[in-house]
Amino acid sequence: MSNTTVRKQGDLLVSFFVLTFAITWGLGAFIVLLPSLAEALFGKLSAASPVFVVAVAGPTIAASILAFARGGWPGLRSLYAQWTQWRFGLQWYALLLIGIPLINYLITRVAGSGSTPEFTTPASLLGFLLLQFILGPVGEELGWHGFAFPRLLTRHSPLVASLIFGIIWGMWHLPAFFLSGLPQSDLGIPVFLVRATFLAILATWIFLRTGRNVPSMMLFHFMINVSLDLFGVPQLPLMVVTVVAAVLVVVLDRRVGWFRKESGGDVQVRGALLSPVTGG
Strands 267-269, 272-274: pairing is: antiparallel
| Per-residue model confidence (pLDDT) at position 216 | 98
Q: Where in the sequence is the domain holding 131, given as residue range(s)?
A: 3-278
pLDDT score of 105 more than 90: yes
* Cβ(213)–Cβ(88) below 8 Å: yes
pLDDT band at 137, cuts 50/70/90? very high
* Cβ(225)–Cβ(176) below 8 Å: no
> Which of 88, 59, 219, 86 lies closest to 146 in space, CA to CA?
59
Report the mean per-residue pLDDT for the chain.
88
Q: Is 148 helix (H, G, I), strand (E, B) or coil?
A: helix
pLDDT score of 192 more than 80: yes
pLDDT score of 164 more than 70: yes
Q: Is 8 helix (H, G, I), strand (E, B) or coil?
A: helix
- State how many domains the chain has: 1
Biggest CA–CA distance in the chain, Å, is 59
- Evaluate if pTM is beyond 0.85: yes
